[in-house]
Amino acid sequence: MTPFGAKIRLLRQERGATLKDMAAALGCSPAYLSALEHGKRGRPTWYMVQRIIAYFNVIWDEAEELQRLAELSDPRVVVDTAGLDPEATELANLLAQRVRTLSKASLKDLVLRLRAASVRSRP
């Protein structure tokens, strides 16, 4: 499941919407929506994200969060480290090799550390 998929599933469940009803309102199939929730489809288009935001009638921070999560929800990621420091290549390879074996707590910790490092690295 992707971060975006988890969030739309949570919103749908909180509002008591079925996949069928939501899909009809969005103009897509329930199968597509289910695949999007489960991370079996690629990142949704900007247009689809906007339709989902409108469907749930969310504004401001929550709408921005949905857009951010959509951008971070490609289930098949390719990392090109050509021309980067050797440490970047090592990090990408270690993550690719071990991501399936990491605990939820370890994943959460790594995400928080990477976010913090990204903030510190900004000019």
What residue ranges do the domains of the chain occupy?
3-71, 86-121
Q: Name the CATH topology of 3-71.
A: 434 Repressor (Amino-terminal Domain) (1.10.260)
Core vs surface per residue 26-44: b (16+ CB within 10 A) or e: eeeeeebbeebbebebebb
- pLDDT at residue 64 tops 80: yes
Structure confidence at residue 22 (pLDDT): 97
pLDDT (tens digit per residue) in 99-119: 999 999 999 999 999 999 988
- Overall average pLDDT of the 1-16 stretch: 95
Any idea of the CA torsion for 68, 74, 80, 85, to the nearest 10 degrees? 50
- pLDDT at residue 26 tops 90: yes
- Overall average pLDDT of the 55-82 stretch: 93
